[in-house]
A and B are shown apart, each in its own frame.
Chain A
């Protein structure tokens, strides 16, 4: 990278950071008008948010809808819950009854009034879907006993047991409020149609090409949205996305670019580009199949994690791949994340790599494999970040005498192989749609509970800790359980290996204002606060 490139990149990052740290009041006044054009690297199979799980649906469709609660669009941690259709809420002392008061005067795009009947019908579809109707996140709501709508502006959720994450569950970016009357006539109507209360009206969808929305003039939040409309262009190829932003044919691609792509945009566009970066709620993990020897031995698993020099990798890999932060089970900088000094006490997280690797070799000797052994590391066939992380892992394991061979398999086949247990050691990942321990840790429960526990282990202690943290309503108490869970998962049992946290990089046209990056690329996509400066 040339000196000029470096300087431009620095200027752009600093200007981006400057925008982020400037208090909202001090920013320019939002300007109305204009069409936001953004690239979307994926496309939705259907239009039903309760049914699908891809960000390719959230980015173009979220602006048509509201959720009961939402994540504060200005909160960079993506964890602060604020109101959306529910303007206030109360929680009973035992944490089992949530009463939410809805806004009045909210209208669907067809002009009909939104009431608690619509909210109940939407949540009934998510939590208690009728036969034949898929609800992908139903498992997140097994705790819900009943949903009631005592009057037009009140909705009540009764839980079987207290759940710390329940408010966050109501702010899920997928839980769009649909119209009860439509659902009553055809519960699958929303798979092919749009009818929400959101800031933008649906205009057009050309499959494989683009999605268009226009301003909802009757939006309940007066003065919003600022944009006249938006156009989402589906673009699978990252080079085409970069070219589109560079040629100013697109303002932004919300998911993120690689460091090299960021640098090329910054060097080409200079001050015309703003870069927002954040730790990403996705992590590059390593799954070790405990049904295969010698990975049933925790000493071997610990050796694998002790071999990794995460702090050095954080500096080196972050230049070429979308990974950066040294992290535990929660996104660094978020409320339940373990502070760095405490994290360093976990196996493989210390700064003295020689000591860690000596310990790793000792453990391998104890486990009866003093000369190391060979195994196949199955990697997902996607370049970013799997390929560079895979190469790095193999090098790190070689330092303690382990000979890993990388077998890269097609991305779609990779999921099937993992679920079937057809691997010894494999790359593994999960991207969260919210930063929330209940969501982020669920995967690591015993295989009998979690269908994507690819380590294929049973650990009742871990299951119990998961339940404890989930039910702890006091944040400090919950933090303690999350830490215990983390220690057992990553250190004592070393069930899994976390390499580095993904790092989200969104370089976008400097004209785009009012959008704040969060750790999850599923969040903050309603676009009601977004405006264009020119």
Chain B
């Protein structure tokens, strides 16, 4: 057995710096009477978190797994894979029931065009999921997520993809939707820049509504985010945004945008990254508290951002750690209803709404033939 174990790739292959050391175990420090140490929720809260998550698992809004796997020559997610933060055993341990697989690529990666890269990523996703039929299932709709869950599979939803993948073409948007894409990040395109959506950008959002592709305004300019919120017939999401009031990161949302998002019943998915939320579980919980208080409990969700090359807070090093976070929220008095919305219900609502809006829009609206040239470039 020892020989075989030697062959297991080490974690240094992917994202060697993406884990902060866990907090020291509770036994190392004498427990004070009264409240438990904030970073080590007591066993009772942890057990309660497991019970709650068993009922309402986590729908994780962002996983970088496709890119992380692309350059691994060998991996097995079913039995456990040390080279990445996400595998089936840890997804089960963390009670992850659904996972959005991001098609975003690391910065500064040359070569292929965004469209070619997207096709490569989609192909890889299909291959990976076909290779793990007992653990993973590719799904498109909220209903299929439930089906997958009833069959004991982790549902994989495709997206977000960077807006550049549609190459300024509604035809390509439709094709990528047909290949399973459900979320598109608007930022980084010529039609969703600093001054907001261009006329073509507005047509992209309308066509996304018609197709059931969710708009992700994380990283978009305030003008783009506001216009998208106003225009979209279905809730908009932020795939990786925390509260700027607590931490001044450009992708974090200022309170006025959180209020607007709450009014539009959108979804702010708070990323578990040290950079955006802070290095500890209570830091993450502070953001979740804030987003819940400002936008509302129906408008807050979770983005693990595992395998995307970012540094995670202590005690949240991989996909198995969600119970720790939920235990902290229990300690802070989150109700069972609020927690079920946070982990599962809100994502279900947003996807269902998008599915419904798409069906309605297809009766009302024809396929858009608009081209970026016709509607002007900025």
A and B form one complex: no
